[in-house]
Structure 1
Amino acid sequence: MNLGLMLQDLEELVVCESFSADHQAVARSAGVVADQGSRRLGARPETIVIDGVSHLRWTFGTPRVLLVGHHDTVWPIGTLREHPWSLVDGIARGPGVFDMKAGLVQAFHALAALPSPEGVCLLVTGDEELGSPSSRALVEDSARGCAAAFVLEAAADGGALKTARKGISTYRLTAHGKAAHAGLEPWAGANAAIELAHQILALGAMGDGATTVTPTVLSGGTTINTVPELAAVSVDVRVPTVGEQKRVDELVRALTPRLAGTRLEVSGGPNRPPLEEASSAGLFELAQRIAEDLGMPPLRGAAVGGASDGNLTAGAGCPTLDGLGAVGGGAHAAHEHTLVSQMPSRTKLLAGLVEAVLG
C-alpha cells in the first residue's frame, strides 16, 4: 500500500467539509468522493439523491460483499478554519479525519489492491450522522443477499474491531393534564408535570444490565402560576439484543397514568436493531486469521454503545463486521485524529477479508 497516495487522498476528503445538515456541502463532498473513487477503482459510482441527500454506490457484478461507509460529518461548515487539516508526527487531524474519511480512503485502496472487485458493492451514504433517515432503505436493500458486510467506521480504542453494537430506540412520552390557577385552585387541575415525574422514575427502572433507558430532554408548563397541562420527556434506549429491545418497547407502551385526570401519549419506538455478536463472530474469526497471516498484532473485538449502519446491515440478516476503518480517537471532538501508520495494515486486512469471502 502506498501511504503517500493514501494521505493525499485523505487530505482531499478532509478539506472538503461535509456537514450532514447542509445538503449542498454534502453534494460537493459526494462529487469529491466520487472522483477519488473513480481514480482508484476505474469506475464511476451511481449517485443516488434521496430527500436532497447525496449517496454513492459502486456495484461490480452481482454483489456478495458489501462495504459501507459515509462521507458526512458532524462538523458545521467553517470548522476547518478552527481545526485545519494537519499531519504532524504521524498523526492526521481535521474534521472527519477519524469519523470516517480515513475509512473511505482505506476502502478505495483495498478494492484497488484486489485482482478484481467483481462481486463487491461499495456504498457511501451522506446522512449516517443523522441516523440515516434517507439512506436506511438503501443500506438494508444493499445488504440483503450478501454474504458479508464490512463497515468502515473507525475502530474502537486501541484499534479493536467492533463486534457488537447496541440497538437504539427513541421515545417521546407526553403527559396530558388539566390547567388551573396554581394559587387560586390548584386542586381543580391535573398536574402533567407531577404525572411525568412518576413516569420518569418508571422509565429509569426499565434498564437492566447492559440495557440503558435514559430520560433526556424535558419540557412542560407555561407560566409559574399555572398548573401544567402538558409535560413531555424524550427517552434514549440502548439495548444489546433484539429481545431486550422488544421487552423495553412493551414496557414503555404499557405505562399507565398515576394521577386522576391525566393521560399518557407515547410516540417513537425502535430505531436501529442491535448488531449482535452472533452476526460478527464468523467474520471476526476470519479477520483474526488474516491479521495473523499479515503479521499484525492480535486483533481484539469490542462491544460499543453507539450505532452505525452496521446495525442496519445486521438487522437485514447480513453477517456484519464493523470498525474496520481508521485507528485513532476523538470522534465528534476537537481532538479527532488518525494514526496514519496504521492505515496500510488496516487496508491490507480489509482487502484480505473481501478476497477471502469472495473466494
Structure 2
Amino acid sequence: MTAITTALEAGLPGLLADIGELVRAESPSEDLAAVAGCARVVAGIGTRLTGAAPEWVDGSGRPALRWRFGSGDRVLLLGHFDTVWPVGSLARHPFEVAGGRLTGPGCFDMKAGVVQLFHALSVLDDLDGVSVLLTGDEEIGAPSSRTLIEDEARRTGAVLVLEASEDGALKTARKGMSGYELTVAGRAAHAGLEPHKGVNTTVELAHQVLALSALADPAAGTTVTPTVASSGTTRNTVPATARLMVDVRVATATEQGRVDRAVHALPPVLDGASLTFSGGPDRPPLPASASAGLFELARGHYAELGFGPLRGVAVGGASDGNLTAGVGAPTLDGLGAVGGGAHADDEHVVVAELPRRAALVAGLVASLLRGAPAAPGRVTP
C-alpha cells in the first residue's frame, strides 16, 4: 500500500462526512437557487482541501467553479454537482451509510466523485499544472457551461472526468448523441363526415417513425429511436398537427453526420403534409482513441496499487467528457464513485471503493504532472 493510499484510507471518515454534506445540499439542475447553494458547499469543501478558493463563473445565473493551480494546463479534472433529484428527495432517500453502501439522492451521479476529486488532490504535494472545473448543468445538457468546458479542454493536456462507474469499469468510449423534434403539419377535417378532405398527421407520423427507425445501423453502433409522440385534438377530428422526438446515438462522427443529413432530407409521404425538423448533433462521440493512452496509464497505476485488473467499457450514455474529446483533448471518463442506480431509487456508492478511486486519481494526476504522456498527440475528433 502506497503512502497516498494509506493517507486516503485513514481519511475515509472525513471523506464520508464531506459526501454527506454535499448530498444534503440538494441541487436539481433547473432550480437555480438550489444549484447556487450547492455550489457554495462545493466551494467550501474544495477550498478547505486544496487551500485555494475557486473562481466563480456565472453562466446565466447557473454557477460553475474553476480552480487553476499554477499554469493549470497539464491536467483538467472535470465534474458536475447538479442532479436529477427534485428538492425534497432527501425526505424519502436520506443520506445514509450502512452495510458498506452509501445512499442518498445524487450520491452516485456524481457528488461522491466531486468529493473524491478534492480528497485525491489533498494528498499531493504539488498541484502546479492542475485545473478543476465543476458545473451545475450537466444533467440538462450543459447549455450554459459547454463553451467553458470546451475552452478549458483546449488549453489542457489531458482531461480526467469524475463521472460515476458501474462495477468499477472506466468509460473508455462514449457514443455521441443527437436529438430531433419533428413537427408535422396537415389539415383538419371531420373524421366521420369528410375524412378525405383532411391530411392526417397521425398517418404521416407513422410513416416518419418507420423512416427514421430505418436510419439506424446496428453494425455501426448507431441507434435512432423515436420516443415521445403526440398528434390530434379529439377522436372525431382528422389531426392537423403532430410532433415526435427522436434520440440518436452514434459511435463515430461520420455516422453522426450521415444520420443528420438523412433526417433533414426525409420527405413527407402524404400529399399536403409538411415536415419541419429542429435539433441536430448535441454531443460528439468520445472515441476509444481519446482515452487509450490515459487508460493504459490508469491500468498500470491500478495494478501498482494492488487493486487488481482495471476494466474499460464503451457505453451509450454521454457526459461532458464527450465535449472535451470533441475538441481533441485526451479524455478518460468514469473515474468517480463505484456503485450503481443512477437516477433511480437504488442509487448507491460502494464505500470501500472510495479511497481506492481517490488513490487512482491522485496517481494519475501526479504522473501527468511529471510528464507522463496522455496520448501520442492531440486526438482527432
TM-score by length of 1: 0.98
Report how far residue 221 of structure 1 moved: 1.1
Counterpart residue number, 1:339: 350
Report how far residue 239 of structure 1 moved: 0.8
Q: 5 Å matches for 1:68-217?
A: 68-156=78-166, 158-209=167-218, 210-217=221-228
1:129-151 CA-partner distances (Å, limit 9, x unpaired)? 11111111111111002111000
Distance 1:292 1:176 in 2: 60
Distance 1:98 1:308 in 2: 14
User: How many correspondences in the alignment?
Assistant: 358
Report how far residue 89 of structure 1 moved: 2.0
Are the counterparts in 2 of residues 66 and 146 from structure 1 also a CA contact under 8 Å? yes
Q: Secondary structure at the match of 1:267?
A: strand
Are the counterparts in 2 of residues 174 and 196 from structure 1 also a CA contact under 8 Å? no
Counterpart residue number, 2:297: 286
Report how far residue 266 of structure 1 moved: 0.7
Distance 1:178 1:89 in 2: 61
Unaligned runs of 5+ in 1: none
Report how far residue 293 of structure 1 moved: 1.1
Distance 2:183 2:93 in 1: 40
1:335-359 CA-partner distances (Å, limit 9, x unpaired)? 1111111111111111111111121
Report how far residue 64 of structure 1 moved: 1.7
Unaligned runs of 5+ in 2: 1-7, 371-381
Report how far residue 10 of structure 1 moved: 0.9
Are the counterparts in 2 of residues 38 and 45 from structure 1 also a CA contact under 8 Å? yes
Matched AA of 1:47: W
Counterpart residue number, 2:47: 38
Counterpart residue number, 1:329: 340
Report how far residue 332 of structure 1 moved: 0.5
Bigger shift: 255-264 or 178-187? 178-187
Counting aligned pairs with the same residue, the percent is: 60
Q: Secondary structure at the match of 2:280?
A: strand
Counterpart residue number, 1:296: 307
Counterpart residue number, 1:220: 231
Distance 1:330 1:225 in 2: 44
Distance 1:283 1:299 in 2: 12
Matched AA of 2:213: G
Q: What RMSD over aligned residues (CA atoms) do the two structures have, in Å?
A: 0.9
Q: Are positions 1:244 and 2:261 aligned together?
A: no
Are the counterparts in 2 of residues 215 and 234 from structure 1 also a CA contact under 8 Å? yes
